[in-house]
Amino acid sequence: MSVVLEAVKILRNETNTVHLDSTSFHVHGDYHTDEDESTKDIEPKTIKITYGYSRDKRPDLKQFMMDLICTKDGDVPLWMRIGSGNE
């Protein structure tokens, strides 16, 4: 976060308006995650590479998601999150 704040300050990017986008990445192969999750709510959590809504019309492939917020001017990334494929 400190790198992002410094970049915005140096580049004088406007942060009143930002752009949020999410995209999915489909993957091939077997991906195993622990189904037995702990009762503790500890970060970071492991994402699940699994089947979900596919914008590519490929329901046969597993996927994961990425959310990204960028500034309107300069497209400086402010925040990113990787999520499970069924979000």
Domain that holds residue 22: 2-32+43-84
Residue with more model confidence, 46 or 22:
22
Q: What is the mean pLDDT of residues 41-62?
A: 82
Q: Using an 8 Å Cβ cutoff, are 15 and 78 in contact?
A: yes
Position 62 in a domain: yes
Question: 0.75 cut: is pTM over it?
Answer: no
The residues, any chain, with a CB within 8 Å of residue 33's CB and separated by 6 or more, are 46, 47, 48, 49
Position 71 in a domain: yes
Highest mean pLDDT among 12-16, 43-47, 76-80 belongs to 76-80
Domain count for the chain, please give it. 1
Which pLDDT value is given to residue 2?
87
Q: Using an 8 Å Cβ cutoff, are 65 and 87 in contact?
A: yes
Position 24 in a domain: yes
Position 37 in a domain: no
List own/partner pairs for 54-60 with CB under 8 A and 24 or more apart: 54/24, 54/26, 55/24, 56/24, 56/26, 58/26
Which pLDDT value is given to residue 40?
59
Which pLDDT value is given to residue 35?
58
pLDDT digits (tens, 9 = 90+) for 52-70: 888 888 888 999 999 999 9
Position 22 in a domain: yes
Position 38 in a domain: no
